[in-house]
């Protein structure tokens, strides 16, 4: 079968490659729901390797436009890893210094990648997770506010706006009126909030679900159990049509199944998203005999291979 020819894009800057990521139709992990199409948006096609490229770029662009980020300031934020990689790439491409505060037990790969861009890392307690990083970055900025630009990805409206303008619209462009369900897990909550807002404006109803770890102590790196966490200011609990708990085992097991059966290695949050999407597909099959579910693969699983392959339970 002949393949269609697509002219390669020419980019003026690596940041022009952010967005317009492909949708992959899952076939094998959804065999038992033949009436429902399940798609995963492959956000690791972004040049920084994750969905976080989108909000990081939007936050930086909006800060430059408003005058909050100037050449004499250091960009600093708390991150569990992927937003830090995005900031680091953007800082290198645009000529801004970057410092990141992240938990000491963040994956080695993400530490190495951010430092390769010239970023300085400041470690918070591994015991306190992403909340500890938030507390530490706030302390650092409060002690010398003129030195830093602190975008605060957990409170910055440009975070969900990136998904409202980008991710949500791209999903509509790709599947249109076939779309019946969307699900994204909660970290900063930007993906879920921004995409849900856009999909709720679509011409047909779309059931939008926010997935979250089922337990306060979990192994789904980058995700938040809202009841036991510092709740991001951008999170609106009334916006999703449903909150779906996903266990660590469900997320990890689905990540392994997708690698083995679909040939796609996704991270913990991507596994949780796909596990939730399959649950929604099973429900749609039982209730309506069909449907179309879309979710997000936030990053690739190879960022989690070192120092151990799959660490389902944190070693506190």
Does 230 have pLDDT greater than 90?
no
CATH of the domain at 95: 3.40.50.1100
- Residue 5 counted as domain residue: no
Q: How far is CA 158 from CA 15, 60, 95, 190, 306, in A?
A: 17, 9, 21, 9, 32
- What is the per-residue pLDDT across 191-200, written as a single tens digit (0 to 9) for each? 999 999 999 9
- Residue 223 counted as domain residue: yes
Backbone angles phi, psi at 257, to 5 degrees: -65, -40
- Residue 9 counted as domain residue: no
Residue 24: Cβ within 10 Å count: 16
- What is the per-residue pLDDT across 3-32, written as a single tens digit (0 to 9) for each? 455 567 889 999 999 999 999 999 999 999
Residue 63's H or E segment, with its range, is: helix 53-66
Residues 264, 270, 274: CA angle, nearest 5 degrees:
85
Q: If you average pLDDT over every residue of the chain, what do you get?
A: 93
Residues 101 and 42 in one domain: no
Residues 79 and 117 in one domain: yes
Residues 43 and 173 in one domain: yes
Does 143 have pLDDT greater than 50?
yes
Please state whether beta strands 36-42 and 291-297 pair in parallel, antiparallel, or not at all (unpaired): parallel
Which SS3 state, helix, strand or coil, does residue 127 take?
Answer: helix
Does 253 have pLDDT greater than 90?
yes
pLDDT at 310: 44
Cβ–Cβ < 8 Å for 57, 209:
no
Does 315 have pLDDT greater than 50?
no
Residues 154, 141, 235: CA angle, nearest 5 degrees:
10
Residues 39 and 123 in one domain: no
Residues 141 and 206 in one domain: no
Residues 300 and 183 in one domain: yes
Cβ–Cβ < 8 Å for 216, 131:
no
pLDDT at 55: 98
Range of the domain at 117: 53-149
Residues 144 and 264 in one domain: no
Residues 43 and 192 in one domain: yes
Spatial strand order in the sheet of 148-149: 120-124, 98-103, 74-78, 148-149
Does 88 have pLDDT greater than 80?
yes
Number of domain units in the chain: 2
- Residue 161 counted as domain residue: no
Distance of CA 66 to the CA centre of its chain: 25
pLDDT at 6: 58
């Amino acid at each position: 079968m002949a393949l269609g020819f697509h002219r390669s894009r020419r980019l003026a800057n690596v940041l022009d490659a952010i967005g317009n990521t492909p949708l992959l139709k899952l076939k094998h992990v959804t065999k038992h729901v033949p009436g429902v199409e399940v798609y995963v948006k492959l956000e690791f096609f972004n040049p920084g390797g994750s969905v976080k490229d989108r909000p990081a770029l939007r936050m930086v662009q909006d800060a430059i436009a408003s005058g909050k980020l100037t050449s004499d300031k250091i960009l600093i934020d708390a991150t569990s890893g992927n937003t830090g990689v995005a900031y680091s790439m953007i800082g290198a491409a645009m000529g801004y210094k970057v410092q990141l505060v992240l938990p000491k037990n963040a994956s080695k790969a993400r530490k190495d990648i951010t430092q390769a861009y010239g970023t300085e890392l400041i470690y918070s307690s591994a015991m306190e997770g992403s909340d500890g990083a938030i507390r530490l970055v706030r302390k650092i900025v409060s002690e010398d506010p003129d030195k830093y630009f602190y975008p605060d990805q957990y409170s910055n409206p440009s975070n969900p706006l990136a998904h409202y303008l980008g991710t949500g619209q791209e999903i509509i462009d790709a599947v249109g009126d076939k779309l019946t369900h969307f699900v994204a897990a909660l970290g900063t909550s930007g993906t879920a909030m921004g995409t849900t807002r856009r999909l709720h404006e679509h011409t047909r109803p779309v059931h939008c679900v926010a997935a979250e770890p089922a337990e306060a102590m979990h192994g789904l790196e980058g995700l938040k159990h809202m009841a036991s966490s510092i709740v991001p200011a951008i999170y609106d609990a009334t916006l999703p049509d449903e909150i779906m708990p996903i266990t660590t085992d469900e997320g990890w097991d689905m990540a392994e199944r997708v690698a083995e059966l679909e040939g796609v290695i996704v991270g913990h949050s991507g596994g949780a998203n796909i596990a939730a999407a399959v649950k929604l597909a099973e429900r749609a099959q039982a209730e309506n005999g069909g449907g179309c579910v879309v979710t997000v693969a936030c990053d690739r699983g190879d960022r989690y291979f070192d120092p151990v392959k799959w660490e389902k339970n944190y070693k506190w």
